[in-house]
Structure 1
Amino acid sequence: MELLFLGTNAGMPIRDRNVTSIAIKLCENGGSFWMVDCGEGTQHQLLKTPLKLNRLNKLFITHLHGDHVFGLPGLLSSRSSLGGTERLDIYGPNGLRELVETSLGITETYLGFPLNIVEIQEGMIVEDEDMTVVAAKLDHRIESYGYRMVERERTGALNAQWLSEMKVPPGPVYRELKSGKDVTLDDGRVIRSAEAVGKPLPGRIITILGDTRPCDNAVKLGEGADVLVHEATFAHELADKAHEYGHSTALQAAQIAHAAGAGRLFITHFSSRYKQEDLAELVAEARSVFTHTDAAIELKPYPINLSLLRSM
């Protein structure tokens, strides 16, 4: 799994940064990926990545401000034009259905795939064999959500050295053992999966928050997360301005990450007043509270590893 930030600017695009969108590459699932938010220009950013739009299968909208949704109609149209036929699930606040259906209807845009629009409430919104997703409201000027994505426990690693010492031939036998099945070899020996496979690996936790002031739900959603993505629209010297507009500072994002016990913090959604070279100051401000902070860089892949804090 990895994160790919497709846009990190707030309000409108600037020369060095696009508006908000994040792709979540699900490496174990054959190239499929999810997205959170879809600002204007998102599909153009996707063209600069290895991701294929017709492999997008879930899209989560945090809130309906334009810098988070103006790219949605075009992205849906292009997904259809590129031959996407599998269902796309879109989750988001009240009004999402009207936004999508009105824009597609007025423009007479035909989609060659089923579109499932879910206007969410707080709580569990996705529960499948691979992941669960919980949503909770944040504190912004309009209805805004954060999402906590939890990977299910994974099968432990094969003890290849032990299997080699036991002269177990690689191939189908390994796959059987990995799937939890005991195997009887041609010589009559029984190899137990429990002996050949290590302890189950805990699932990774990703928390991605929409625009918000500091609030209790931000901490709850980020509790023990391996990765927390939090907006940092302003430096803390503009804390009053951040509060007025329903946003957070870099320092406040770090305080949330610290309170949540997160493993790593990515700050994003930067005001246009900060050029790319200014982001180091925001990072330094955040690191004064939470050391494991980085400013999200667009189109740079960030692997999602189990955090050191959770593996200790």
Structure 2
Amino acid sequence: MELIFLGTGAGVPSKGRNVTAIALTMLNERNSIWLFDCGEATQHQILRSSIKLSKLEKIFITHLHGDHIFGLPGLLSSRSFQGGETALTVYGPVGLANYIRTSLAVSGTHLKYPLEIVEIEDELVFEDATFRVTCKELEHGILSYGYRIEEADKTGALDAAGLAALGVKPGPIFKELKEGKTVTLEDGTVVNGSAFIGPSKKGRVIAIFGDTKVTPNELAVARHADVVVHEATFAADMGDMAGEYMHSTTLEAATLAKNAEAKQLIITHISSRYSRDDNQSLVDECRTIFPNTEIATDFAIFEL
């Protein structure tokens, strides 16, 4: 899995940062891509990346401010012309369906693929055999969500050496043993597959936050996450303004990551008042509290 940051700015685009959009690529895990938020010109950013819209399976919208949704109608339309034929589901706050359907209707846009719009009514957003997505409400003056993406634990590795010692050769029988089945060999030896499977590998956890001021709900989303992606619209000395506009500072994002016992923090949604030259000072502020912090820039890729 990889996180690809397509836009890392706050409020309005700047020359150095487009507005918010984050892609989670899962080509090995489910041969698809998920998108979190879709600010204006996201499809243009995608043209400069390795992302294919035909692989886009789900879009998760954190909240309905323009810098997080104004790119949706164009992207949904363009997907029809870029080989997108499989179903696409868009999740987000109440009001999202009206925005999308109205935009498509008044522009006469006809999609060539099934589109499902799910307005969130519960903390469980999506779940299948491989991933579970939950959410919590944040505090931003408008309904805003933080998403927790949990990968299912993976079965442990098969002890091929131990099986070889019993005379079991690689082949179809390995698949049965990997599934924990009991197999009888040609010589009558009974092999219990579960005895040759190593410890399961814990699935990865990713926390992606919408815009928010500090709120207790954040901890449940970020707890023990492998990666926390959190806005840091303002530097530490702008705490009053951050509170007024219901955003977070660098130190507040870092404090959350520390309290959640997360492994890594990536800060994004940086105010246009800060230039690329300010990146190091912003990330250094975070590192005073949470050392394993990085700052996202447009087109930055983080492997998970």
- Do they fold alike, i.e. is TM over 0.5? yes
State the distance in 1 between where 2:89 and 2:287 align.
Answer: 36
More deviation, 212-221/189-198: 189-198
Secondary structure of the structure 1 residue equivalent to 2:286: helix
User: CA RMSD, aligned part only?
Assistant: 1.7
More deviation, 21-30/171-180: 171-180
Report the Cα offset of residue 84 of structure 1. Answer: 1.7
How does 1:83-232 map onto structure 2 within 5 Å? Answer: 83-232=83-232
More deviation, 242-251/154-163: 154-163
**Match of 1:193, as an amino acid?**
G
Question: For residues 15 and 172 of structure 1, do their structure 2 counterparts lie closer, same or farther at Cα, with a shift above 3 Å needed?
Answer: farther
Alignment correspondent of 1:250: 250
More deviation, 57-66/122-131: 122-131
Alignment correspondent of 1:37: 37
Alignment correspondent of 1:308: none
- Note if contact 2:6-2:42 (Cα within 8 Å) is conserved in structure 1: yes
Report the Cα offset of residue 270 of structure 1. Answer: 0.3
Secondary structure of the structure 1 residue equivalent to 2:59: strand
Report the Cα offset of residue 295 of structure 1. Answer: 0.6
How does 1:64-79 map onto structure 2 within 5 Å? Answer: 64-79=64-79
Aligned length: 304
Alignment correspondent of 1:26: 26
Report the Cα offset of residue 225 of structure 1. Answer: 1.1
Secondary structure of the structure 2 residue equivalent to 1:76: helix
- Note if contact 1:122-1:136 (Cα within 8 Å) is conserved in structure 2: no
State the distance in 2 between where 1:127 and 1:190 align.
Answer: 37
Secondary structure of the structure 1 residue equivalent to 2:24: strand
Cα shift readout 1:26-64 (whole Å, capped 9, x = no counterpart) = 243352011110111212222333332111111100011
Question: For residues 298 and 185 of structure 1, do their structure 2 counterparts lie closer, same or farther at Cα, with a shift above 3 Å needed?
Answer: farther
State the distance in 2 between where 1:296 and 1:197 align.
Answer: 39
- Note if contact 1:122-1:137 (Cα within 8 Å) is conserved in structure 2: no
More deviation, 241-250/196-205: 196-205
Report the Cα offset of residue 248 of structure 1. Answer: 0.4
State the distance in 1 between where 2:33 and 2:228 align.
Answer: 18
More deviation, 158-167/65-74: 158-167
**Match of 1:138, as an amino acid?**
L
- Note if contact 2:25-2:34 (Cα within 8 Å) is conserved in structure 1: yes
**Match of 2:169, as an amino acid?**
P
- Note if contact 1:228-1:265 (Cα within 8 Å) is conserved in structure 2: yes
**Match of 2:216, as an amino acid?**
D
